[in-house]
A and B are shown apart, each in its own frame.
Chain A
Amino acid sequence: MTDRNLLVGPFNRVEGDLEIRLDVKDGAVAAAYTNSPLFRGFEMMMLGKDPRDALTITPRICGICSISQSAAAAFALADAAGAEMPPQGMLVAALLHAVENMNDHITHFNLFFMPDFARPIYAGEPWHDEAVNRFTATQGSATRAAVAARAELFNIVGLLGGKWPHTLAIQPAGVTKSPSTSDKVRIQTTLRSFRRYLESELLGGKVEDFAAISTKEQLQNWTAGDAGRFLRIGQAVGLDDMGFGPGRFMSFGAYPLPGKRAFKAGVWDGGLKPLDTASITEDLSHAWMIGPDAHPTGGQTMPDEDMRDDAYSWCKAPRLAGQTIETGALARQIVDGHPLALALADHPSAWARVAGRLLEIARTQMLLEDLAAQIDPKERFMGHRDLPKNGEGAGMIEAARGALGHWTRFENGKITGYQIIAPTTWNFGPRDRNGVAGPVEAALVGAPVRDGEETPIAVQHIVRSFDPCMVCTVH
């Protein structure tokens, strides 16, 4: 018997539209239902178009991870054409993509996640004044520093890709601009400046030292910077005891480079396992979508205009071998085998999720510097490959929020199938036909609801710990 029902929304400081229905019992969430209340229909828009148009249209699914969408489309077409970027083209594509993912993490931490600790509900806590000073929305000193730092970091994308978001530099056969030596030194200068921001503000210590943390105890002893503030405050409000994911993690592998991916692909389910993407299905039982459950190569998008009562979201429910799975920065670092991430894997709380993101920030800075140093302005950055008239391909990459896949098929030069599964679709999908709740729906069960709370703060912490991107979810 539930005591009351809450409808949480507009749910802000997430990207896009999110509404959550909660059943509350005995001061805690008993059941949660996530609704992505915006439908645009990008998969339908693509049908009948020239496959190359996917490179222009699909990045516009999302303004916060547009390079991720762009890369997924480019790799899907490359797959269909049997094309491969020249090694230096892969390098620059990875650099562009990693800059966007880095900025997503910085934006999430400072603008989306931390402002909750500055809220009046925490007035009186010993750390509250500090949180107000650093993280008050639009005004906090950390917020301001982060906004300036991310704008400057995006100068790398301005230089290599013209603009952000909706950068179109990544193509199936390479990148559209060949960086010069002067571009290379400017990129390195920008990265050094960003390192100063990370080390003086966010981490409060050397990037390498944070990336070298290998146990939970060492992590808890990191008290410097905003990372230290989060780790302490997060423990104090109990984030390590709430918001547990399914304990299964997936990564498609981030940043394709010659012969490898910078962060590995795979699955964690009590141990590392290879990823079988053929076992992916999208379940439509609780989505306002018509048609059978299917692998994305055979999937379709037909919205249910009647919005039947037994469904409650425009979001499909993806499953891997029939199971829910969590995706994101923590998942990526676990699958890559980082010792700290592995140490956090068996206690996948809201706190662990944000800590995993901080770890990835440190490691991504090192990766970015390494990629920039490897740019060889004398080399070629674009190859050539004509797209066949008929083809089928998949582009599977990692957005900041996790595994992103584009699956396309075209005949006689026209797209006949285009399906996308975004990271947040995995995390925020609704129930499946077995009644199994999606990862976030399950993670919310047990979240404390204080007397009189209409928009429970614990629910907000848990939801934001996943860093959802709702416009991608339902595209």
Chain B
Amino acid sequence: MNILWLQASGCGGCTMSLLCAEKPDLFDTLGGAGIEFLWHPAFSEATGDEARRLLAAVESGKQPLDILCVEGAIARGPRDTGRYQMLSGTGRSMMDWVQSLAPLARHVIAVGSCAAFGGVTTAGGNPSDAVGLQFDGTHEGGILSADFRDPTGLPVINISGCPMHPDWVTETLLMLAGDALTPADLDSYARPRFFADHLVHHGCTKNEFYEYKASARELSEIGCMMEHLGCIGTQAVGDCNIRPWNGSGSCTRGGYPCIACTAPEFEEPRHTFTETPKIAGIPVGLPSDMPKAWFMALASLSKAATPDRIAKNATSDRVAIPPTLRKPKT
């Protein structure tokens, strides 16, 4: 199975994250499953005229293409010309190339939130008029129409995240290589359910603080970051706290609130990223699937019942009070 990887309007961070795959490393993981890069802008030897010839061969159908991976959003500006990103050496816009190549691939993958939904490339008024491959933020339809399907019936597969976890890409590729990914395995934003059926909240090491609404007030304090610091891990899809990042990490374990980077339009939360918007002191965004009244009732109860250890630790930058040891029975 071969992959043509294009870097559109993005930061290259998804490629860099992919290189952080471990156990085994990226090239072992893919090579062992017979997956190879036809061309990748960061890894391949072929450059300049060789790369242009390869693109021409794919476009003419002479070179079959199994998977087209696009990293980064697609710039449509200025004035719908796509000239904010020309694929260098070709005199053609990236928008033009992707529209030409996508129908030729057996599968199309949007790697990262920019390619999936527009992502950070579309923040702050979207100066380059960028858009995702098959989504424009939360709306269906990007530079490919909402009804685009690959020859196997799959839409563009959105491996969102800013960046995405390296395993999300390698596992998707391995599933495609084994014909093990069907439309039913994608959620309504076409994200693979193997990571999108989890919330970042699942496995969060701050869950005990969450249970008691024992909250951090400033960054670096170890309490729950939902109430004051903008964390939306209870609404964000991703298995970030179930499978580690870079060995043992996750944003919340690094003391940083989850900003739901797997979600469309996360780049414009309509409030400062690290501050929870509130009305009359009550956080506006509550956990998914929970009626507001219930949340309020439970939160006030649990706050009243918060053990001293948890309350003190929540506003400390390390464990200040260890768990009480049970005394041996006499």
Contacts and interface: CB of A to CB of B under 8 A. Distances in A.
Contacts of B89: 7-11, 19
Nearest to A157: B246
In this complex, which of A61, A63, A139, A148 has the most chain B Cβ atoms within 10 angstroms of its Cβ? A63
Contact of B162 (A8, A60, A161, A314): A60
Contacts, number: 266
B203 to A, nearest CB: 14
A454 B49 contact: yes
Contacts of B1: none
Nearest to B84: A39
A30 interface: no
A380 B273 CA distance: 24
Given A56-B259, A118-B45, A159 B16 contact: no
Contacts of A471: 10-12
A178 B52 CA distance: 49
B90 A9 contact: yes
B19 A147 contact: yes
Interface string A121-148: 0000000000000001111000110011
A78 interface: no
A165 B245 CA distance: 10
B246 A382 contact: no
A408 interface: no
A8 B48 contact: yes
B86 interface: yes
A303 B17 CA distance: 30
A167 B259 CA distance: 12
Interface in B310-330: 317-318
Given A64-B13, A155-B246, A176-B219, A162 B252 contact: yes
A46 B128 contact: no
B27 interface: yes
Contacts of A157: 246, 249
Interface in A150-186: 150-152, 154-155, 157-169, 171, 174-178, 180
Contacts of A144: 25, 27-28
Contact of A381 (B15, B39, B123, B220): B220
Interface string B54-87: 0000000000000000000001011100011111
Given A46-B124, A169-B256, A305 B79 contact: yes
A450 interface: no
A119 interface: yes
Contacts of A305: 77-79
Contacts of B273: 52-53, 55-56
Contact of B27 (A139, A177, A314): A139
A160 B218 CA distance: 17
Given A11-B47, A177-B220, A163 B245 contact: yes
B88 A19 contact: yes
A184 B9 CA distance: 38
A49 B267 CA distance: 12
A45 interface: yes
Contact of A63 (B11, B87, B128, B318): B11
Nearest to B24: A148
B20 A63 contact: no
A308 B253 CA distance: 49
A62 B163 CA distance: 11
B254 A180 contact: no
Interface of B: 7, 9-17, 19-22, 25-28, 31, 37, 39-52, 75, 77-79, 83-91, 120-121, 123-125, 127-128, 130, 162-163, 218-220, 240, 244-256, 259, 261, 267, 272-275, 317-318
